[in-house]
């Protein structure tokens, strides 16, 4: 796998940022209008108002462009909802995560990211996605510690116990995970989480 951070890493400001935004927007529009099978680099370039060579220089090929667009769409646009406890925060967040990733768009984005042999700042795109997700979970756990909750697990435990099984089942499993399965996984990963008063924060 060729890892070349110069192709897909956003460059700060100026024309480069405008080109990236224009090409990303054109790609999203054309994907919605025609589907990926009909898309070509010249078609995207025409919609974006750039030359095909601009896209080839920056992204290499259409697969890497799809992956870069998918990465931006997978980037969270805000912090997880604060519902009052780690357990309910994780339940709310993971239900939304499962819903988004199991959608047709979510599955396509994951496949695009996994298929591309590119990186940003030397980090493979799948690892960047994992960083986004881990950062969201870390916010939830930090809130719990600030509230004085006990039994808070590590980010790695929740990534391994919740996120990784979701991704594996969605991409490789015979059936997609559902809400019942998700609640069972949360109960296993958060068995000892308690509120400041010592009571179980939530039954999941």
The answer to whether the beta carbons of residues 162 and 90 sit under 8 Å apart is yes
- Does 197 fall in a domain? no
Half-sphere exposure (Cβ direction) of 134: Cα atoms closer than 13 Å: 13
pLDDT greater at residue 155 or residue 198: 155
Instruction: Please check whether residues 180 and 93 belong to one and the same domain.
Output: yes
Domains of the chain: total: 2
Give the residue among 63, 54, 74 at the shortest CA–CA distance from 117.
63
| Site of tokens 């060579």 | 53
By mean pLDDT, which of 30-39, 113-122, 129-138, 152-161 is the weakest? 113-122
Instruction: Please check whether residues 65 and 31 belong to one and the same domain.
Output: yes
What is the average pLDDT value for the chain, to the nearest integer?
85
> If you average pLDDT over residues 93-120, what whole number do you get?
87
| Site of tokens 């509120």 | 195
Instruction: Please check whether residues 95 and 182 belong to one and the same domain.
Output: yes
- Does 100 fall in a domain? yes
Using the 8-state DSSP alphabet, how is residue 159 labeled?
I
The pLDDT tens digits for 158-185 are 999 999 999 999 999 999 999 999 999 9
* pTM of the complete model: 0.77
- Does 196 fall in a domain? no
Rounded-to-integer distance, Cα 185 and Cα 84, Å: 20
Instruction: Please check whether residues 151 and 107 belong to one and the same domain.
Output: yes
- What is the pLDDT at residue 118? 62
- Does 93 fall in a domain? yes
pLDDT exceeds cutoff 80 at 145: yes
Instruction: Please check whether residues 54 and 103 belong to one and the same domain.
Output: no
Rounded-to-integer distance, Cα 74 and Cα 100, Å: 10
> If you average pLDDT over residues 67-78, what whole number do you get?
88
Taking each helix axis as running N to C, give the angle between helix 41-48 and helix 52-59, from 0 to 180 degrees, rounded to the nearest 10: 110
Last residue of a domain, one of 54, 74, 94: 74
pLDDT bracket for residue 8 (50, 70, 90): very low
Question: Phi and psi dihedrals of 200, rounded to 5?
Answer: -60, 130
Residue 191 Cα distances to 25, 26, 138, 148, 186, angstroms: 44, 46, 18, 16, 8
The pLDDT tens digits for 14-70 are 678 889 899 999 999 998 898 888 899 999 999 999 999 999 998 888 988 998 898
> If you average pLDDT over residues 141-153, what whole number do you get?
94
CATH number at residue 42: 1.10.357.10
Could you tell me the maximum CA-CA distance found in the chain, to the nearest angstrom? 62
């Amino acid at each position: 796998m060729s890892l070349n951070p110069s192709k897909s890493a956003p460059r700060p400001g100026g024309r480069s940022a405008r080109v990236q935004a224009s090409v990303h927007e054109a790609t999203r529009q054309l994907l919605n209008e025609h589907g990926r099978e009909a898309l070509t680099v010249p078609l995207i370039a025409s919609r974006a108002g750039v030359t095909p060579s601009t896209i080839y220089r920056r992204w290499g090929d259409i697969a890497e462009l799809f992956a870069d667009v998918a990465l931006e769409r997978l980037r969270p646009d805000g912090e997880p909802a604060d519902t009052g406890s780690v357990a309910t925060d994780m339940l709310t967040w993971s239900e939304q995560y499962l819903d988004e990733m199991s959608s047709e768009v979510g599955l396509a984005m994951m496949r695009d990211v996994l298929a591309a042999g590119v990186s940003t700042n030397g980090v493979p795109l799948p690892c960047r996605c994992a960083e986004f997700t881990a950062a969201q979970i870390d916010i939830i756990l930090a809130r719990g510690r600030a509230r004085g909750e006990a039994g808070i697990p590590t980010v790695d435990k929740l990534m391994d116990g919740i996120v990784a099984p979701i991704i594996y089942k969605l991409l490789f499993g015979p059936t997609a995970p559902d809400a019942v399965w998700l609640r069972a996984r949360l109960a296993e990963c958060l068995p000892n989480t308690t509120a400041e008063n010592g009571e179980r924060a939530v039954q999941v």
